[in-house]
Amino acid sequence: MGMTGRHVLFARSRPAAGRPASLRRAASALLARPRDPRLYVQLALLAVFALAVWAFGVVVEDYLTRDPLVRWDVEFSAWLHQHWNSTISGACNVVTLAGSVPALALLTLVVALYLLRRGRFDEAAVLCVGALGLEIVNPVLKLAFHRPRPELAYVHLDTYSFPSGHAAGSAAVYALVLYLLARHARVRWQLFAGVGYVVLVAGIGFSRLYLQAHYLSDVLAGFSLGAAWAGACLFAYECRRDVLWRLLPERLRAAAAGLAR
């Protein structure tokens, strides 16, 4: 073999010599990753997203195939109508406001300004994107399923029923707010906030049922949709925290930075 051939073989073998070092660095990074607390947070958010999507799919399948859940919808709606109480109805009229679009929009604005004032721009961005995105997705799904409102509804609503916007919005927005504000708090405060979240969101869902604005499957689909949406937003945020902030126009970032001063 001539000198030229040996030089070619040597040149081809040189990259291979660097491969073990690259593989060792990659292996070290993978081995160190389990010690990163953010990995467990990301896995938990991914599990919430997957479980919520599965639950939403189950409710949708039952609705489309007219499974027992749809029959329970009508029976439960009739039962609530028979046991109507003016006091409970008045309370439900108040509780349901917490899941309305104006209330959730105001909450999003207040919390976003609070985060901006403290320089937490990426958190404010994910909150606003998550809240606004769901308000686009939910009406599209309503049009896709075009389910009429319950026949025994006390008020006439022009929009469709499935999935419940109040249930989806409250499950998503309150979850985003809770996660962003309480994730660095003490464990007991996190538990307290978590219980409060469950009670509030469940109360909003029940108010929609009691006021005959939705069927049970509408509310269950809304809960699962909201949880899936919040899980997806927070998972993306934890994986790439600064992406949303970099996507904002330069002038918007400068204005937001001014608020934090």
pLDDT, one tens digit per residue, over 221-250 is: 999 999 999 998 888 888 765 444 555 566
Q: Is 210 exposed, middle or buried (0-12, 13-18, 19+ CB in 10 A)?
A: buried
pLDDT, one tens digit per residue, over 114-164 is: 988 888 888 888 899 999 999 899 989 988 888 887 876 666 667 788 888
Token pair in block for residue 149: 């409102």
Interior/surface letters 71-82, b for 16+ CB within 10 angstroms, e for the rest: eebeeebeebee
Map residue 22 onto helix, strand or coil. Answer: helix
CA distances (Å), origin 137, targets 134, 140, 142: 5, 5, 9
Map residue 15 onto helix, strand or coil. Answer: helix
Neighbours of 1 (CB within 10 A): 7
Compute φ and ψ for 182, nearest 5 degrees: -110, 0
Domain ranges of the chain: 1-35, 40-259
Neighbours of 151 (CB within 10 A): 10
pLDDT band at 3 (very low <50, low <70, confident <90, very high): very low
Question: What is the percentage of the chain residues whose pLDDT exceeds 90?
Answer: 26
